[in-house]
């Protein structure tokens, strides 16, 4: 994929509401990446079957996920964590008020560890996440990825949005949120899912790249 290659071997975050195509998109990207050794870490078990093109790990427990990522074995050239937000939200909900700050610090530690892993292993790392809660936000507030300052560790942040859904067809768009190449809300990809096909369409053109203007 041209845009992933342009980002280089670094970390990318994709966030969006449930049902906006995050898992389908990252699986399609992971399948198409030419890397020989790939890893897919699943925290939600939404898949109908495990991917055949990558090593698969199912880790729904946050503490187990934290220790696994902090000690991620070297050698993978493409890594997907889908999603980091769900186990963290679950852990956050069960903690006492005076403990909640620790879980956000661990989320930042995970993001930093993945950034280092990408650097040390020359690997592409893609992490999916949920948006922050709308509760207590002022009107017009733009929802960001959940996790306070962890977003600063990602070279690119993209957002998934549901455009159309019916019993036989779902269409989602992937847009830029914070990008080195595009302005806010620039369309990047369109994901079309039917009962027998998954199509990923590139929406941007080279002239849209602000770094080439």
- With a cut of 70, say whether residue 213 has pLDDT above it: no
Model confidence at 5, pLDDT cuts 50, 70, 90, reads confident
Looking at residue 210, its pLDDT comes to 67
Interatomic CA distance for residues 133 and 89, integer angstroms:
10
Q: Where are the domains of the chain?
A: 2-159
Q: Does the structure show a pLDDT above 70 at 9?
A: yes
187 Cβ contact partners less than 8 Å away, ≥ 6 residues apart: 173, 174, 175, 203, 204
2-159 belongs to CATH 3.40.50.300:
yes
Its pTM stands at 0.93
Average pLDDT, the chain: 92
pLDDT tens per residue, range 166-196: 999 999 999 999 999 999 999 999 999 998 8
């Amino acid at each position: 994929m041209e845009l992933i290659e342009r980002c280089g071997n670094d970390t990318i975050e994709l966030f969006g509401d449930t049902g906006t195509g995050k898992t389908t998109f990252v699986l399609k990207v992971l399948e198409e990446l030419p890397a020989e050794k790939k890893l897919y870490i699943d925290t939600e078990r939404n898949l109908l079957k495990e991917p055949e093109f990558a090593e698969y790990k199912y880790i729904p427990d946050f503490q187990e996920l934290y220790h696994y990522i902090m000690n991620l074995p070297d050698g993978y050239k493409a890594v997907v964590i889908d999603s980091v937000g769900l186990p963290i939200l679950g852990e956050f909900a069960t903690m006492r008020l005076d403990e909640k700050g620790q879980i956000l610090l661990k989320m930042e530690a995970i993001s930093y560890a993945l950034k280092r892993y990408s650097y040390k292993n020359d690997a592409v790392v893609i992490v999916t996440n949920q948006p922050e809660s709308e509760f207590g936000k002022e009107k017009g507030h733009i929802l960001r990825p959940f996790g306070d300052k962890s977003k600063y560790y990602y070279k690119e942040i993209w957002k998934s949005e549901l455009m159309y859904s019916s019993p036989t067809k779902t269409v989602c768009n992937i847009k830029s949120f914070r990008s080195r190449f595009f302005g806010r809300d620039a369309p990047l990809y369109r994901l079309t899912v039917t009962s027998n096909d998954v199509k990923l369409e590139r929406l941007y053109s080279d002239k849209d790249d602000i770094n080439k203007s």
